[in-house]
Amino acid sequence: MLGHFQLFGFFVRLLFPTSRLLLLILNTFQHLSCLMAVCFLLVLCDYIARRDLWDSLYSLHVAGPWLALEDFNSVMGAHETTGVLKRQSCEDFRAGVTICNLNDLDSQGPFYTWRGFRRGKIVMSRLDRAFCNAEFIEQWQQVSSICLPRIHSDHHPLLLSSSKASPSGPRPFRFQGMWLSHPTFNELVSTVWSRPSFGSPSTLLEKKLKDLKQELKVWNWQVFGDLRVNISKASERVSTIQDRLANEGLSDSLLFQEIEALTSLDSLLS
């Protein structure tokens, strides 16, 4: 065992069965039985090494629900890549999934999860995914895998979602790093801080911070708008363009639009 810790009411055990496999065992404090096992894999490019990894997965014999997710460096068939299909790697991949009795977890978002260059050409493939067994599907019926927009990496990140509910209520006040780059930010802080006030030092500090908080809320809305809405719209635009690239094929126009959309989203996230 590598270690253990508590997380959101669960007891989590970390195990490293091999150098390329991290296994998380989740239990509730009321029950000793396995609630869920999650495998994070480091899959190598060499298909011989990948065979050993599937043997390691099979030998785990995990009882109960379990999930395996990562960049598998393989595809299930020619329909999952725009490049040359490596048949032996593909056959080994399908055989490993079958022998471990795994099912492809429902996925939302872009179909291809990786984009790179092969022999001077842009290639897209579905390399990243989540697999689960029948027990996992029975117990976690609402869980799905969401393929998020690709920003800095050549891979799309995967997000496991167990609920479609959105957070409600007002968002807590938080300082935003993008404020520092705006030319009127320092002037606003200076104006609020120089207003005459009376009271003890602690009372003055509390009042100035409270006033500054209210002024920043109004200023942020006027200058930047609702950050969450802006990020959501920018992320949706990136997803739309990347979906078009996957469905319509690569074009200079779409690639240029993607660069612009990624730059806009990155500026909002920084």
pLDDT tens for 66-94 read 888 888 889 999 999 999 998 998 999 99
pLDDT given at position 156: 92
Fold of the domain spanning 4-163: Deoxyribonuclease I; Chain A (3.60.10)
Return d(Cα 213, Cα 259) in angstroms, integer.
35
Return d(Cα 238, Cα 259) in angstroms, integer.
9
pLDDT given at position 32: 45
Return d(Cα 141, Cα 136) in angstroms, integer.
8
Q: Six-digit token pair at 46?
A: 């060499």
Strand 144-147, strand 107-108: pairing: parallel
pLDDT given at position 12: 63
Return d(Cα 53, Cα 59) in angstroms, integer.
10
Q: Where are the alpha helices (DSSP H) in the chain?
A: 47-60, 87-99, 134-139, 185-193, 201-223, 227-248, 252-269
pLDDT given at position 188: 92
CB 166 within 8 A of CB 103: no
Q: How many CB atoms lie within 10 A of CB 142?
A: 9
Reduced to 3 states, what is the DSSP secondary structure of residue 77? coil
Q: How many CB atoms lie within 10 A of CB 218?
A: 10
Whether residue 7 is predicted with pLDDT greater than 60 in this model: the reply is no
Please tell me whether the overall predicted TM-score, pTM, comes out greater than 0.75 for this model: no
User: What's the chain's average pLDDT?
Assistant: 80
pLDDT given at position 26: 59
Q: How many CB atoms lie within 10 A of CB 33?
A: 8
pLDDT tens for 152-179 read 899 999 988 875 444 555 667 778 877 8
Return d(Cα 240, Cα 176) in angstroms, integer.
27
